[in-house]
Amino acid sequence: MLVCGIGNFVFIAALARYKKLRNLTNLLIANLAVSDFLVAIVCCPFEMDYYVVRQLSWEHGHVLCASVNYLRTVSLYVSTNALLAIAIDRYLAIVHPLKPRMNYQTASFLIALVWMVSILIAIPSAYFATETVLFIVKNQKKIFCGQIWPVDQQLYYKSYFLFIFGVEFVCPVVTMTLCYARISQELWFKAVPGFQTEQIRKRLRCRRKTVLVLVCILTAYVLCWAPFYGLTIVRDFFPAVFIKEKHYLTAFYIVECIAMSNSMINTVCFVTVKNNTMKYCKRLMWLQWRPSHHGSKSSTELDLKTSVVPATEEVDCIRLK
């Protein structure tokens, strides 16, 4: 919770402070940072109380139950859609460099679309969220908070779940895998024609580093969320498997916690590994939002210098080096 909250806040603050960081990839990454930050400051305290303090019992009412479930679901879909948009943007930039890149207007529309789609398709997670007494331990009620669809609407629930599973997991993962496979072929297995200058080699190293980070994030996403989707499929479509299993609920909560830890992994990768981001975050913390007027160039001068044209990630990487 602390890593996710503080890390994403620092990244968002650095992005707001330094125009040099505002390339298209970082603007798309900011979607993940915003959604993960909201989950860290709003959902995680209630989740911590639910799982750890009260040991799987919800005591905060129906409204907060629905709100926390909804915000958590929206965050998941925003993260998925943003990762997909980043993969496609990298694919177009590296595999088809002569085609026009997205401008800021297109990127803004794409960001708005990512949030709009996520907000709309997550509505059932709030509408069907409810509190239910599951069992009593030592004269204390254990209240479950989550989605519970009516019995007569189970067919609609299964259809909705399969739709979400396909649109927000299978299709994005397959698309991102294909994009990064093609990108890897372009960066590692294709000979660069002509003489390679030091600037070209630096640009290639920068692109490779970025792709490696994104591939690691995709791998972490699959490893964190595949068990959750898999267990949910078994629970909803093959319930007989868990009828006699005493520790099913505990196992499901553990899998859910593993899935939620993906937000922390995203934060660590983007803030500490993503090229140039950590440098600006350190500069932000040291200067405490006050631009330095000493040395070769101030942050304000750098902002003015790079505010006219959209900076690309590779150019930023080369300039700093």
DSSP letters for 187-228: HHSSPPPS---HHHHHHHHHHHHHHHHHHHHHHHHHHHHHHH
Domain CATH number, residue 53:
1.20.1070.10
**Residue 68 belongs to what domain range?**
2-320
Identify the CA nearest to 41 among candidates 82, 12, 3: 3
Q: What is the residue-wise DSSP string for 80-138?
A: HHHHHHHHHHHHHHHHSTTSPPP-HHHHHHHHHHHHHHHHHHTHHHHHTEEEEEEEEET
Token pair 């299964």 in the structure block, residue: 158
pLDDT of residue 158: 92
- Return the C-alpha torsion angle 293, 297, 300, 301, nearest 10: 130
Give the tokens for residue 28. Answer: 């798309």
Per-residue confidence in pLDDT tens, the chain, 321 aa:
677 778 788 888 877 877 777 777 788 888 888 888 888 888 888 888 887 787 778 888 889 889 999 998 999 999 899 999 989 988 988 888 888 777 778 888 889 999 999 999 999 999 999 888 876 666 677 888 888 899 889 899 999 999 999 999 999 999 999 999 999 888 887 766 666 677 777 877 877 887 888 888 899 999 999 999 999 998 888 888 776 666 777 788 788 888 888 888 888 877 665 545 566 566 656 655 454 444 444 444 444 444 433 444 444 443 434
Q: Please tell me the total count of domains within the chain.
A: 1
